[in-house]
Homo-oligomer: A and B are copies of this chain.
Amino acid sequence: MNGRYPSSLLEKAVNEFATLPGIGTKTAMRLVLHLLKQSDDAVDRFAEAIVRLKHEVKYCKVCHNISDSDVCSICSDKRRDASLICVVENVRDVMAIEATMQYNGLYHVLGGVISPMDGIGPSDLNIDSLAERLKDGSVTEVILALSTTMEGDTTSFFISRRLADTGVKVSVLARGISIGDELEYADEVTLGRSIVDRTSFEAKI
């Protein structure tokens, strides 16, 4: 398929799909031809869902999570522990942590991580508003739940420095062997970290 599309409409649709991350021209073609086989209604519904999301979606004024209202359902839930804030990169991370059912505090969505290569500096992220949330003294701990990549670590470091004089405890996620992993296949940095940060056996039962 060398771009000799039989129809310019087809070509445009394929090119649009091919702008999505991880979708090449061949996959885009497959997806577009699949949509073309669906009913008019189904295709309109597909397109409308995207357009409505883009135009109508809101971001929580407090934590910047995607929301249908001005304040998201997590921030407005009185049963949640408002003294804990978990800082994450994006909405997917919120959903991943929520799915664990192990966390009952609030979130703060940065909207990315510091990445000079991509031109993303601290001012492009929701860091000022995080500092703002700590001002009334009700928050006692900020959990930095960022990826252990160069960018994630840089961002964690930047935020911890930024919050240093607030007196709020700053913690990070435990690093160690994944549950279900075999020791011999763990990378040595993780394995080393898991020995240094070993925890009491009783605590795990």
Contacts and interface: CB of A to CB of B under 8 A. Distances in A.
Contact of A16 (B5, B9, B33, B50): B50
Interface string A75-98: 000000000000000111011101
Contact of A72 (B6, B21, B67): B6
B21 A30 contact: yes
A100 to B, nearest CB: 10
Interface string A175-192: 000000000000000000
Contacts of A91: 6, 10, 33
Interface in A34-77: 34-36, 38, 40, 42-58, 65-68, 72-74
| Dominant secondary structure of chain A at its interface with chain B | helix
A162 interface: no
Interface residues of A, number: 62
Copy number in this complex?
2
Contacts of A65: 6
Contacts of A54: 35-36, 38, 40, 43-44
A49 B6 contact: no
Contacts of A46: 16-17, 19, 50
Given A6-B65, A10-B57, A10-B66, A16 B95 contact: no
Contacts of A34: 20-21
A91 B16 CA distance: 18
